Copies of this chain bind each other. A is one copy, B any other.
Amino acid sequence: MEGKNQSQRILNAAYKCISTKGYANVSLRDIAEEAGVVLSQLHYYFGSKEGLFTEVIKMMIDKYLKEINEALSMGETAKDKMLYLVNFFKDLLKNNPGLFKLLYDFTGLAMWSSSFNSLLKDLFNDLSKMIEEKILSNSALGENFRNYSPRAVARMILGAMFGTGIQVILDSNGNEILDALNAIQIIFE
């Protein structure tokens, strides 16, 4: 009756558990229970804990690439596009903080595990490239930009969002900090 659904339900349960409690605080038994499935099914479908986590990470990566690509297709000028990107990120932090927590958590995991390192490294690479190409490439930017390569600026923008985001998450009343995200646009003024 379940068929292929079973593995998808496990994947969704893993996603939910990890984004709620953190990868270090989640056991395979937690995930099995959340999925309404017997423990051994996780190994039947994903082989190991690492295999399951890998799939969750890939799922997360797809979401980020897709959603940010959408956000970056809005607007015309660099300033406009940056506004759309910032607003997307503010909305993400407010209405779907689990997705950001997942990114932060797995990025931390990737610091110590070479298996996950390349996955996350590639994601940051792709995201910064998207920012570079869609925001910083075509339009004629201010003279300030001539001192820094578009690649470096894109990395910094991505880092500013990420690093400001964690401060929002950390502070339960972080709504005020959300305004700090707008400050990224200072480079386009």
Among residues 149 to 165 in chain A, which have CB atoms less than 8 Å away from a CB atom of chain B? 149, 151-153, 155-156, 158-165
Counting contact residues on chain A (CB < 8 A from B), the size range is 35 or more
Determine whether the beta carbon of A155 is less than 8 Å from that of B170: no
A123-157 with Cβ < 8 A to chain B: 124, 128, 143-145, 147-149, 151-153, 155-156
A24 at the interface (CB under 8 A from B): yes
Say whether B166 contacts A107, CB under 8 Å. Answer: yes
Query: Known contacts A22-B111, A111-B105: does B183 contact A156 (CB below 8 Å)?
Result: yes
List chain A positions with a Cβ less than 8 A from chain B: 21-25, 101, 104-105, 107-112, 117, 120-121, 124, 128, 143-145, 147-149, 151-153, 155-156, 158-167, 169-171, 177, 179-184, 186-187, 189
